[in-house]
Amino acid sequence: MTFHRRTRSVLFASAVGAAAVIPGLSSQAVAAPTPAVQNAGLERLAGDFPECWEQYTTGENTGEFRLAKGAGGKNAVEVELTQRTSGFKAVVQDKACAVKVMPGRQYDLELRYKSTSDSPEIVLFRKAAGKWARWETLPPLSASKTFRDATVRTPVVPEGTEEIRFGLALSEPGTLTTDNYKIASAAGELKCKGPECKKGKWVVRSFAGDKGVRAIHSVLLHNGKVLMIAGSGNGAGRFEQGRFTTKVYNPKTNKFTNVKTPYDMFCAGHVQLPDGRVLVMSGTEEYAQYDPQTGAETAGWIGSKKSYIFNPKTNKYEKANDLIDGHWYPSATILGNGDVYSVGGYAAQRAANNGNLVSPIAERYSVKQRRWLNENEVAQPGINWATYPSLMLTQDGKLFYNGSSVFSHPVNADGSLRGPGFLNPTTGAWGALPNNGNLRAAASRDMSASLLLPPAQDQKVMIIGGKNFADNNAKAIRYTDVINLKAGNPRYTAGPNLPYGTVEIGQTTQAQGGGAGKTYVSAVILADGKVFETGGSQYTRSEHVHEASILDPTKQAKNMKWTSVAADPVARTYHNTAVLLPDGRVLAVGSNPDYPGADGDSFFDTRISIYSPPYLYKGARPKITSVKKGWKYGAKPVIKTNSKITKAYLLRPIAVTHSSDPNQRLVNLPVKSLGGNSYRLTMDKRANIAPPGWYMLVVRTAGGQPSVAKWVHIS
Ligand SMILES: [Cu+2]
């Protein structure tokens, strides 16, 4: 039986007393009205559908609404989606039965549901100035075979809000049954029920045909969108045809914008310049060639000398001058003055034996002169940096090579492994740490993740997992190691092993074990200042591991602990990236296993997974209500929030490829309360702690709930 949408005019029996505001008292001091959901159990019918409830559809999809057996009483409503192109179907309170609410307050919404979908969402509407609109999106719930409770807390009700209404939405084929709705004024801590409360929740978005993108490079722009660069996307056929791709992805609308891509940026380097444009250097001049019989490489890769700058305002690439040499897999580190230093990768020509030739050239982009400098303008240490070496800016302006690289590791003149050490980008002076800085398994750190742990002021670096790519039989490792760069003689010490996940072997999924870890790991600083790692495989582009975990980086290395959380349902191997979004979610994209795709080019999974960390299920998120956009070093900006906060920090937006983003960092901003939810923050004086550019300002409650970010510019 199918119902048609109907709206009833039901006499509105106000359960909400007129909320008189007494002069001199804040709204918080007024006794809380008791809101209520009418026909909460869906028992009273108006014709063939529960009174006070409506069938709500957005986008293009087919399906139906029907009565089903209730969770407690007689009735519930079942929604079935049979086909979907876009949008959702939802059971929502109708306008006549909306709930009166008080601005400045928060409400806890409760309901019971069961669903085949692993991402039903509570939808929320609010009425202001007589007009209804979708309010904020709440994090997704999980699939459940039997009725379960779900409770979410609304954001603070904005000024001018008269009423709200809510319901549950289904946005993928399947069924959803809902019943027993409740609303209450929020008090105390939200009691979150369900697996997502502790483990967070992934939602996967699929794109048919060429609607997705081979996102080998992901860069968060200061408009909240993600620049995804494929170039030829590791497809020799695409390279031959000159099919180079870049897309800008909007995580809010799930839509892509195509960007004209002037050359093959596959395996380029990239970093946001101080003005927020993205400097892209090198890429592929020529693909390698292979013996069709043996698969052996008969000719190496050639790196491009080209460089362009992506402008988020116009969605266009602007040409920069050429590099001195080609750098296929270059590093890209922003310095304290905004210049960009880049080394490593394969040169603009092959080696004498026709194989790969690592470029010995150091490149420097001068922000002031708006150009790449000439060879005689950059100190040339002549080091073989191999491919995507991770060079991090330290507080004294040096670059710390942390021991993480891709495919192979940097080498000394005699061919031996070049371990961690410090490089002076101005003089070219290099100082190695003795004994590889005590980094364990230093030759097994190919495709490891590395990051400057929060806060940047602590100058601690962590390296996570990796594998020895010179040995095909070597398994990825579980080690994490931490070094304190502020120590007199910095040395790595052992951190906690990566937890075991499940691993795809052939057609089976097995429990991981035997000391195996992950290579192609992605690591992201979360909006609450913790570290999140996800994705990876045990072997070269095979045996993919489903595992993700979170760590508190403020402890001593020996006391740190990974807490396992929900794993990405999509296997993410070679060419995966992960990005923290301004709303505190994490986007994971890309996977390029070692078997060919339908088009003959290597297979590439274009699905995007979005992770909602546990902090999104704790309810009450603070909100930044007022902040100045431009900050100078050492400034003491005053911000306003809608509730009490204890911490504030800046997060540098991610620009990542091949597990490598040496510029990712969290800068702590000491907080002084001025009363009335006003706070004075202190911006660090040192540009080497926070290189110039756009940052996400996030504030946090004592309970660990982070705000949505506001963009601020540091200069
Ligand atoms: Cu690659």
Determine the distance separating the centroid of ligand 1 and the alpha carbon of 579, expressed in angstroms: 18
Determine the distance separating the centroid of ligand 1 and the alpha carbon of 278, expressed in angstroms: 20
d(CA 34, CA 557) in angstroms, rounded, equals 49
Determine the distance separating the centroid of ligand 1 and the alpha carbon of 658, expressed in angstroms: 6
d(CA 408, CA 402) in angstroms, rounded, equals 14
Structure tokens at 671: 């907080």
Q: What is the pLDDT of residue 195?
A: 85
d(CA 244, CA 265) in angstroms, rounded, equals 8
Three-state DSSP class for residue 520:
coil
For the chain, the structural domain boundaries read 27-194, 204-617, 624-714
Q: Give percent above pLDDT 90 in the chain.
A: 84
| Angle, CA 662 vertex, CA 342 and CA 584 arms, to 5° | 140
Sheet strands side by side (includes 307-311) = 269-272, 278-281, 307-311, 316-319
Q: Does domain 27-194 have CATH number 2.60.120.260?
A: yes
Amino acid at 495: G
DSSP line for 85-144: SS-EEEEEE-GGG-EE--TT--EEEEEEEEESSS--EEEEEEEETTEEEE-PPPPP---E
Q: What is the pLDDT of residue 31?
A: 52
Mean pLDDT, residues 74-101 taken together: 94
d(CA 387, CA 343) in angstroms, rounded, equals 9
Determine the distance separating the centroid of ligand 1 and the alpha carbon of 401, expressed in angstroms: 20
Determine the distance separating the centroid of ligand 1 and the alpha carbon of 395, expressed in angstroms: 30
Determine the distance separating the centroid of ligand 1 and the alpha carbon of 425, expressed in angstroms: 26
Determine the distance separating the centroid of ligand 1 and the alpha carbon of 331, expressed in angstroms: 13
Q: What is the pLDDT of residue 42?
A: 94
Determine the distance separating the centroid of ligand 1 and the alpha carbon of 505, expressed in angstroms: 22
User: Is residue 205 a contact partner of residue 254, using CB atoms and an 8 Å limit?
Assistant: yes
| Angle, CA 271 vertex, CA 267 and CA 273 arms, to 5° | 145
Determine the distance separating the centroid of ligand 1 and the alpha carbon of 267, expressed in angstroms: 6
Average pLDDT of the chain, as a whole number: 93
Determine the distance separating the centroid of ligand 1 and the alpha carbon of 185, expressed in angstroms: 52
Determine the distance separating the centroid of ligand 1 and the alpha carbon of 234, expressed in angstroms: 7
DSSP 594: S
d(CA 279, CA 320) in angstroms, rounded, equals 9
Determine the distance separating the centroid of ligand 1 and the alpha carbon of 659, expressed in angstroms: 10
Determine the distance separating the centroid of ligand 1 and the alpha carbon of 96, expressed in angstroms: 56
For residue 174, pLDDT beyond 60: yes
Handedness of CA 212, 213, 218, 222 (dihedral sign): negative
Determine the distance separating the centroid of ligand 1 and the alpha carbon of 347, expressed in angstroms: 16
d(CA 524, CA 464) in angstroms, rounded, equals 12
Structure tokens at 200: 């967070």
Determine the distance separating the centroid of ligand 1 and the alpha carbon of 461, expressed in angstroms: 24
pLDDT band at 467 (very low <50, low <70, confident <90, very high): very high
Q: Roughly how many angstroms between the first and final C-alpha of the chain, as a whole number?
A: 63
Q: What is the pLDDT of residue 496?
A: 98
- What pLDDT, in 10s, does the model give residues 632-645? 999 999 999 988 99
3-state secondary structure 164-225: EEEEEEECCCEEEEEEEEEEEECCCCCCCCCCHHHHCEEEEECCCHHHCCCCCEEEECCCCC
Determine the distance separating the centroid of ligand 1 and the alpha carbon of 55, expressed in angstroms: 48
d(CA 620, CA 154) in angstroms, rounded, equals 7
3-state secondary structure 230-252: EECCCCHHHHHHCCCEEEEEECC
The pairing of strands 577-580 and 161-170 is unpaired
Determine the distance separating the centroid of ligand 1 and the alpha carbon of 406, expressed in angstroms: 8
Determine the distance separating the centroid of ligand 1 and the alpha carbon of 263, expressed in angstroms: 17
d(CA 246, CA 263) in angstroms, rounded, equals 10
Determine the distance separating the centroid of ligand 1 and the alpha carbon of 203, expressed in angstroms: 26
What architecture is domain 624-714?
Answer: Sandwich (2.60)
pLDDT band at 28 (very low <50, low <70, confident <90, very high): very low
Determine the distance separating the centroid of ligand 1 and the alpha carbon of 187, expressed in angstroms: 50
Determine the distance separating the centroid of ligand 1 and the alpha carbon of 387, expressed in angstroms: 10
Query: How far is residue 591 from each of residues 328, 401, 611, measured CA to CA in Å?
Result: 20, 27, 16
Q: Residue 282 — left, alpha, or beta (φ > 0 → left; ψ -120 to 50 → alpha)?
A: left
Mean pLDDT, residues 431-449 taken together: 97
- What pLDDT, in 10s, does the model give residues 548-564? 999 999 999 999 999 99
Determine the distance separating the centroid of ligand 1 and the alpha carbon of 209, expressed in angstroms: 22
- What pLDDT, in 10s, does the model give residues 559-585? 999 999 999 999 999 999 999 999 999
DSSP 519: B
Determine the distance separating the centroid of ligand 1 and the alpha carbon of 575, expressed in angstroms: 6
Mean pLDDT, residues 241-253 taken together: 96
Determine the distance separating the centroid of ligand 1 and the alpha carbon of 546, expressed in angstroms: 21
pLDDT band at 71 (very low <50, low <70, confident <90, very high): confident
| Angle, CA 258 vertex, CA 250 and CA 210 arms, to 5° | 95
Determine the distance separating the centroid of ligand 1 and the alpha carbon of 606, expressed in angstroms: 15
d(CA 331, CA 349) in angstroms, rounded, equals 18
| φ, ψ dihedrals at 617, nearest 5° | -105, 5
- What pLDDT, in 10s, does the model give residues 509-524? 999 999 999 999 999 9
Determine the distance separating the centroid of ligand 1 and the alpha carbon of 574, expressed in angstroms: 7
Q: How far is CA 363 from the centre of its chain?
A: 29
Q: What is the pLDDT of residue 376?
A: 96
DSSP 566: P
Determine the distance separating the centroid of ligand 1 and the alpha carbon of 255, expressed in angstroms: 25
Residue with tokens 């061919």: 415
Determine the distance separating the centroid of ligand 1 and the alpha carbon of 594, expressed in angstroms: 12
- What pLDDT, in 10s, does the model give residues 295-336? 899 999 999 999 999 999 999 999 999 999 999 999 999 999
d(CA 364, CA 366) in angstroms, rounded, equals 6
Q: What is the pLDDT of residue 295?
A: 87
Determine the distance separating the centroid of ligand 1 and the alpha carbon of 407, expressed in angstroms: 9
For residue 700, pLDDT beyond 50: yes
User: Is residue 387 a contact partner of residue 433, using CB atoms and an 8 Å limit?
Assistant: no
d(CA 448, CA 401) in angstroms, rounded, equals 13
Residue with tokens 């008969």: 298
What torsion, rounded to 10 degrees, do the Cα atoms 68, 71, 73, 76 define? -30
pLDDT band at 280 (very low <50, low <70, confident <90, very high): very high
CATH superfamily of the 204-617 domain:
Galactose oxidase/kelch, beta-propeller (2.130.10.80)
DSSP line for 529-545: S-EEEE--EEETTEEEE
Determine the distance separating the centroid of ligand 1 and the alpha carbon of 243, expressed in angstroms: 17
Q: What is the pLDDT of residue 397?
A: 98
Peptide bond into 455 cis (omega under 30): yes
Shortest CA distance to 167 belongs to which of 119, 116, 110? 110
For residue 209, pLDDT beyond 80: no
Query: How far is residue 44 from each of residues 15, 75, 308, 509, measured CA to CA in Å?
Result: 18, 9, 64, 48
Three-state DSSP class for residue 145:
strand
Q: Residue 407 — left, alpha, or beta (φ > 0 → left; ψ -120 to 50 → alpha)?
A: left
d(CA 659, CA 469) in angstroms, rounded, equals 15
Mean pLDDT, residues 213-234 taken together: 98
Shortest CA distance to 662 belongs to which of 672, 670, 652? 652
Alpha-carbon Rg for the chain, nearest whole angstrom, is: 27
Three-state DSSP class for residue 557:
helix
Determine the distance separating the centroid of ligand 1 and the alpha carbon of 328, expressed in angstroms: 9
